[in-house]
Structure 1
Amino acid sequence: MSKLAENIAKAERYLARFTQHGVPNRIGGEDIPAADGAVFETISPVDLKPLAKVSHGKAADIDRAAKAAHAAFAQWAETSGEARKALLHRVADAIVARAEEIAFVECMDTGQSLKFMAKAALRGAENFRFFADRAPEARDGKSLRTDGQVNMTTRVPIGPVGIITPWNTPFMLSTWKIAPALAAGCTIVHKPAEFSPLTARLLVEIAEEAGLPKGVWNLVNGFGEDAGKALTEHPLVKAIGFVGESRTGSMIMKQGADTLKRVHFELGGKNPVIVFADADLDRAADAALFMIYSLNGERCTSSSRLLVEASIYDKFTATVAEKAGRIKVGHPLDPETVIGPLIHPVHEKKVLDYVEIGRSEGATIATGGRKVDGPGGGCYVAPTLFTGANNQMRIAQEEIFGPVLTAIPFKDEAEALALANDVQYGLTGYLWTADVTRAFRFTDRLQAGMIWVNSENVRHLPTPFGGVKSSGIGRDGGDWSFDFYMETKNVAFATTAHKIQKLGG
């Protein structure tokens, strides 16, 4: 039996429970069908066949989940930081123990290749461990002294929070949002993306089996227009952490306005990788390829615009095209596959439509630009590189969210900076140069929340993660996560009998 056949057989065993029993909502520690009995079907992008029937939650289900989170909040908020730390480490241990199951289910549910998903569960465990270790100090603040007064600041959990996660790497991104919320002492209503709901179910099971009290974490599946809207409008939900499209983030802000809901948004990107002639060009090419073609190009931090100094543009883009043409597109459970099928036929059409838009705008397809006949007949698209493009083209301005790279030349540093900043987004940027003074100048003026110099996206968990402009509001990571999930409180103690003005006598 080949390794692929062996992996497919394992995946079928892991998926059998979902196929047979479906995916109910999880509210107050119980499996709950949708209040109206509605379900929707989730399909695999590999062969477009159904994977499971999923409970289709709506406003009544969100209301039940929000009330469960509210009822569980006081006890969870008062649980000691050390106790939360121990429990979250048990969650991490259980994630590691079930890492293969998580990876195989995610591959079949999203189309992401095992090459990357095999590590996604372990990254999720790292997220839980990181915030577990910080739980005991989550409420810590500062002592601020002035004449006759000592101020003590502290933080308290904000309350029940709503977490809305995307379909591209759903398990890891769910842990990235949920782990700090739990460490802070918040309770949760989680609405995963309807295109990839399966590993969210595994995650809440793992947490409850590790000892998380009932009602602390509630899971409601559904669509943005019903479950999502109800969650963002619910008065018991104090904050919304959302990862997804910029347009949806704008809608969430409007829907949460009446309840003055706090929001944290990680939104879209049209991120530049800027390559100067003095850079290590071999490493720069490999990094540019990795950041657009790994994870099927379906990642907010992908380097979807390649800005290259004109003197090396032709040679550099030829290298990228040649390497991209050798990338293996195939079944996500094949250990050799780099690019699997895109998440859904709707998204595949969007990506292929952008390929036609690029053609019509006059850009040249240096490689790819076509649908691939992959195993199972699913949503396979070849890694694509556009050359001869300019920054006014739609393929250079709009988020495609697929394995499509647009290469644009620049003549000097000033033009490179102007091109890099001339989009509505500002999530990440990647700069390649041997000139350290240029790196300081350029990064200081580049409009992005995160920038990597002579590196692809290498995450250090204590650092802030987030974007500017249409790419988001707020920061995750380290203490920045607690700033979102907690309220800061100041208590002022008088140390002397200061003079108090007398009124009325």
Structure 2
Amino acid sequence: MDKATPKADIYKANLDRAVPLLAKLKDEGIGHFIDGKVVPAISGATFETKSPIDGTVLAKVARGNAEDIDRAATAASLAFKSWRDMAPAMRRKLLHRLADAIEANAEDIAVLECIDTGQAYRFMAKAALRAAENFRFFADKCMEARDGQSTPSDEHWNISTRVPIGPVGVITPWNTPFMLSTWKIAPALAAGCTVVHKPAEWSPITAQWLAKLAKEAGIPDGVLNTVHGFGEEAGKALTEHPAIKAIGFVGESSTGSAIMAQGAPTLKRVHFELGGKNPVIVFDDADLERALDAVVFMIYSLNGERCTSSSRLLVQQSIAETFTAKLAARVRALKVGHPLDPATEIGPLIHERHLAKVCSYVDIARQDGAIIAVGGKPFDGPGGGHYVEPTLVTGASQTMRVAQEEVFGPFLTVIPFRDETDAIAIANDVQYGLTGYVWTNDMGRALRVADALEAGMIWLNSENVRHLPTPFGGMKASGIGRDGGDYSFDFYMETKHVSLARGTHKIQRLGV
């Protein structure tokens, strides 16, 4: 829609768009997508997916198990050779077609994702377009996926090349599920791998759209398969299946540990993008207005349900009181509401269990001696769903649980620091190491802090701005491996070394 369209009109249009989509969804349900066909679970089992807005049942979803995973893995295995051997230019063409199809359906995908996840429309409106951008980026890299290096020696020409590893499993999270799934699936397909996708059971709706759009774009049957279900059933079967050569997973650190153990007997390659307790460090010489905007955005956008959220604010003592006062005023002014309303900044949390988890940290903060400066309780939002007030915790120290554990909601903990050394020590004193954000006008200090932070990604004087060629991933309990550009191909492809002899080197003669 045009930017000049009144928000009330956009809200009504979104609600009107949702009606036929939800009716069709409830009527048809959600099946697996295996070998180019929508199929029920072999067992016939289903589970319900509900909207976090009001708890209504959106659809019955096929509940996969080891039999369904085996069926999908077999399809992926049978399709692998022809997809691997397809000319890169043709793979590029098909992935661009898929990007076109995503763009054509972007509004429907956004509306359904809001209803399925509770994420605000202002953030999800562009999510499908970003997903299309992911496919376009990796489509264009199909032509160079096999590129390697030339490392000549005195007697040999040595070259390296890359080949796709085989069928891979992709397990994706429930926050912005459509866009995040494309971060994994797009490079896998561009590399020449086939995929079995296990979406999160809390947000299964748009995964089927992606598989159907792939078929409509001409991607061969068996190349992209989707099996729904629970982690302990379908997910476990996928990580253990011998035909699956690698697992790309986004989710909790404890689940990543379990997947590593499950994949060990078949020596699976793993790529994990896991939890975070990310610091944003604000020094007293920073551009404080820009820093304030970034602090609010990086924890309260997307309901705080994002791995890269800056959930710990480390602010220098000399400005802590004034900066926190301005921050509190901004948090109080955040608009909680229906996710399809473009004025909404925070929608309902994904699930009643997650709402309970986020709210439990309010009690934990108080028990540890911190102050709930803003929010701290459920919110009576439209539909009566899983709404929570955006929460700000002050008076905290680094030893408190709210400074150590991932809450994964609109929940920010403020911790003052003395100087550069103190800020670094506090920032690194967690089990996680995904991102870090530093605000200062002293570039020497910015570079020193960036070098000292134990995090895979660091932004200086910026919020998280994703650039697809750059490496995305974390350290410590935040993950293993990197996404983005050629870093993705390092995971989905095997590097092969070929040595060409000049015919002049001496070969030792034995047994003469």
Question: Is this a same-fold pair by TM over 0.5?
Answer: yes
Structure 2 distance, partners of 1:407, 1:12, is: 42
Structure 2 distance, partners of 1:116, 1:3, is: 14
Alignment of 1:114-129 (within 5 A): 114-129=121-136
- Normalising by structure 1, report the TM-score: 0.99
Aligned partner of 2:431 among 424, 430, 446? 424
Structure 1 distance, partners of 2:10, 2:313, is: 36
Equivalent position amino acid for 2:97 in 1: R
Q: How far off is 1:30 after superposition?
A: 1.1
Q: How far off is 1:365 after superposition?
A: 1.1
1:499 correspondence with 2:506: yes
The residue that corresponds to 1:466 in the other structure is 473
Structure 1 distance, partners of 2:19, 2:411, is: 31
1:228 correspondence with 2:230: no
Gaps of at least 5 residues in structure 2 are 1-7
1:156 correspondence with 2:163: yes
- Determine helix, strand or coil for the equivalent of 1:376: coil
Structure 2 distance, partners of 1:414, 1:115, is: 38
CA deviation profile, 1:401-436 (whole Å, cap 9, x unmatched): 000000000011110000000000000000000000
The residue that corresponds to 1:260 in the other structure is 267
CA deviation profile, 1:449-493 (whole Å, cap 9, x unmatched): 000000000111100000000000000001000000000000101
The residue that corresponds to 2:4 in the other structure is none
- Determine helix, strand or coil for the equivalent of 1:195: coil
CA deviation profile, 1:293-345 (whole Å, cap 9, x unmatched): 00000000000000000010011111111001101000000010010000000
Equivalent position amino acid for 1:378 in 2: G
Structure 1 distance, partners of 2:271, 2:24, is: 34
- Determine helix, strand or coil for the equivalent of 1:488: strand
Structure 2 distance, partners of 1:31, 1:456, is: 40
1:145 correspondence with 2:145: no
Q: How far off is 1:440 after superposition?
A: 1.0
Structure 2 distance, partners of 1:211, 1:116, is: 30
The residue that corresponds to 1:196 in the other structure is 203
- Determine helix, strand or coil for the equivalent of 1:284: helix
Structure 2 distance, partners of 1:105, 1:111, is: 10
The residue that corresponds to 2:187 in the other structure is 180
Q: How far off is 1:441 after superposition?
A: 0.7
Structure 2 distance, partners of 1:23, 1:461, is: 31
The residue that corresponds to 2:5 in the other structure is none
- Determine helix, strand or coil for the equivalent of 1:484: helix
The residue that corresponds to 2:404 in the other structure is 397
Aligned partner of 1:65 among 72, 91, 94? 72
1:54 correspondence with 2:61: yes
Aligned partner of 1:323 among 309, 322, 330? 330
CA deviation profile, 1:208-238 (whole Å, cap 9, x unmatched): 1000000000000010000000000000000
Gaps of at least 5 residues in structure 1 are none
Alignment of 1:437-452 (within 5 A): 437-452=444-459
1:361 correspondence with 2:378: no
Equivalent position amino acid for 2:390 in 1: P
The residue that corresponds to 1:134 in the other structure is 141
The residue that corresponds to 1:310 in the other structure is 317
The residue that corresponds to 2:94 in the other structure is 87
1:413 correspondence with 2:420: yes
Structure 2 distance, partners of 1:327, 1:168, is: 20
Most deviating of 331-340 and 363-372: 363-372
- Determine helix, strand or coil for the equivalent of 1:377: coil
Aligned partner of 2:440 among 409, 433, 457? 433
Structure 2 distance, partners of 1:122, 1:2, is: 22
Structure 2 distance, partners of 1:490, 1:390, is: 52
Structure 2 distance, partners of 1:16, 1:325, is: 37
- Normalising by structure 2, report the TM-score: 0.98
Query: Runs in 1 of length 4+ with deviation above 4 angstroms?
Result: none
Structure 1 distance, partners of 2:43, 2:332, is: 49
The residue that corresponds to 2:216 in the other structure is 209
- Determine helix, strand or coil for the equivalent of 1:143: coil
Structure 1 distance, partners of 2:303, 2:153, is: 56
Structure 1 distance, partners of 2:318, 2:150, is: 56
Structure 1 distance, partners of 2:309, 2:332, is: 18
Q: How far off is 1:13 after superposition?
A: 1.5
1:99 correspondence with 2:106: yes
Q: How far off is 1:2 after superposition?
A: 5.3
- Determine helix, strand or coil for the equivalent of 1:156: strand
Aligned length: 505
Structure 2 distance, partners of 1:395, 1:487, is: 41
- Determine helix, strand or coil for the equivalent of 1:312: helix
Q: How far off is 1:504 after superposition?
A: 1.5
The residue that corresponds to 2:283 in the other structure is 276
The residue that corresponds to 1:345 in the other structure is 352
Structure 2 distance, partners of 1:153, 1:258, is: 29
Aligned partner of 1:42 among 49, 55, 62? 49
The percentage of counterpart residues that share the same residue type is: 67
- Determine helix, strand or coil for the equivalent of 1:352: helix
The residue that corresponds to 2:299 in the other structure is 292
- C-alpha RMSD of the superposition: 0.8
Structure 2 distance, partners of 1:457, 1:316, is: 21
1:18 correspondence with 2:14: no
Q: How far off is 1:3 after superposition?
A: 4.0
Structure 2 distance, partners of 1:365, 1:312, is: 20
